[in-house]
Structure 1
Amino acid sequence: MPKIGLFFSSSTGNTRRIAKAIKKRFDDDTMADALNVNKATPALFASYTHLILGTSTLGAGALPGLSTDCMGGGWEEFLPKIEHLDFGGKTIALFGLGNQDKYPDEFVDAMGILYEFFKAKGARFAGAWPADDYDFVASKALVDGEFVGLALDQENQKMLTDDRIEAWLKVIAMEFRLPL
């Protein structure tokens, strides 16, 4: 099986740390290094049949962009570069960070924005995550009562992050047909 592409965009560095923690759980033959989308090319991104994509959610539910990404760019700038690509035949697992206490009406909305973008491009998704054990009002990342990917809150539930990542990666490994 070809390598899994692991891409992220981070406004504070938390999403980068989560991406690196995910990468550590896989060998180099299985997963490429975690790469900020500001360093990715459309050709590299499109070369993977399996992708894990991470994002933080900013303020009122926005994607990280040039003015907010601590690494100098983000999904807001990258998505237009891949607008022309077809993602049919590709499987994507998403993870998103948000703050359910401070932004309960927009919790992990950016993950929902990525989901809608890639869904419209024909992607298949893996790694839906239960919305239990979260306290929020609304989220664009909620579909049929589940998050479209792993939802993490590093501000209010950091102590749950490692266990959530482990459980989610087991789901991803089965859906991607990978050893973990």
Structure 2
Amino acid sequence: MNKIGVFYGSTTGTTEDLARRIAEKLEVPSTHIYDVSKLTEALVNEYDVLVLGSSTWGAGELQDDWYDGVKVLKKCDLSHKHVALFGCGDSDSYSDTFCDAIGILYEELKGTHCKFCGAVDTAGYTFDSSTAVVNGKFVGLPLDEVNEDGQTDERISTWAEQIKQEIS
């Protein structure tokens, strides 16, 4: 069985809340959920699957704690790890940078030879542009707690089941 660690960067608490909800659906104990500011190489090495979450800030930027988190991840051997990405965005006010943080994490980590899982179809989302869309799909789970919070639970449940299948 794959050991899963959930790592999030959260400024307002929204991404932290979503990380906990995702962990619950993935049956990950709360002791395996971490603020990315505490990320270390030793911690990364404990897990087979890394679930990474960031909100998108400003003009499509990562949450602040992720800048150091990415540096830690790039120093690690991720070649035998699955990586699943999720993020928060505002599809109405920031429709041209919707969940770009997921795209940034993907771009930063694709050279590490990790195996990405959890791509999500763009159907059902309203946005203009996102760097998180690669080959017609989101590279992870985009969540909009501002405008589409009524869809979050279903999106998380569906995504969690997909992740379980992809890592088995």
Question: Fold match, TM over 0.5?
Answer: yes
Q: How do 1:85-104 residues align onto structure 2 when only pairs under 5 Å count?
A: 85-104=76-95
Gaps of at least 5 residues in structure 1 are 66-73
Residue 55 of structure 2 corresponds to residue 64 of structure 1 = no
**What is aligned with 1:38?**
37
Runs of 4+ deviating beyond 4 Å:
none
Residue 110 of structure 2 corresponds to residue 119 of structure 1 = yes
1:95 is aligned with what amino acid? F
CA deviation after TM superposition for structure 1 residue 15, in Å: 0.6
C-alpha separation between the residues in 2 aligned to 1:2 and 1:148? 21
Alignment partner, residue 17 of structure 2: 17
Distance 2:68 2:103 in 1: 17
Aligned to 1:128: 119
Q: CA deviation at 1:26?
A: 4.0
The amino acid of 1:104's aligned partner reads S
TM-score, normalised via structure 2 length: 0.93
Write the distance in 2 (CA, Å) between the matches of 1:45 and 1:146: 27
Deviation at 1:120, TM superposition (A): 1.1
Amino acid at match of 1:126: C
Call closer, same or farther: CA 1:27–1:84 in 2, change over 3 Å: closer
AA aligned to 1:57 is T
Larger helix percent: 2
Partners of 2:73 and 2:119 in 1: CA distance: 24
The residue type paired with residue 99 of structure 1 is: D
**Rounded Cα–Cα distance in structure 1 between residues aligned with 2:104 and 2:45:** 19
Counterpart CA distance in 2 for 1:28 and 1:131 is 27
Distance 2:5 2:84 in 1: 10
Instruction: Work out whether 1:6 is the aligned partner of 2:2.
Output: no
Q: Distance in 2 between matches of 1:44 and 1:164?
A: 28
- Please, which runs of 5 or more residues in structure 2 have no aligned partner? none
Aligned partner of residue 119 in structure 1, secondary structure: helix
Structure 1 pair 82–94 and aligned structure 2 pair: CA distance change class (3 A): closer
Task: State the aligned residue count.
Answer: 168
The whole-number CA distance in structure 2 between the counterparts of 1:56 and 1:120 is: 22
RMSD of aligned Cα (Å): 1.6
Q: Distance in 1 between matches of 2:85 and 2:96?
A: 20
Query: What does the per-residue CA deviation read over 1:126-180, in whole Å, with 9 as the maximum and x for residues that have no partner?
Result: 1100111111111110011110011100000000000000001110010112xxx
Higher relative contact order (CA 8 A, sep 6+): 2
Structure 2 CA distance for aligned equivalents of residues 13 and 117 of structure 1? 24
Distance 1:106 1:13 in 2: 20
Secondary structure at the residue paired with 2:75? coil
Matched, 1:147 2:138: yes
Q: Using a 3 Å threshold, how does the CA distance of structure 1 residues 101 and 89 change in structure 2: closer, same or farther?
A: same
Alpha-carbon distance change, 32 to 123 in structure 1, aligned in 2, over 3 angstroms: farther
Distance, in Å, in 1 between the alignment partners of 2:123 and 2:31 is: 31
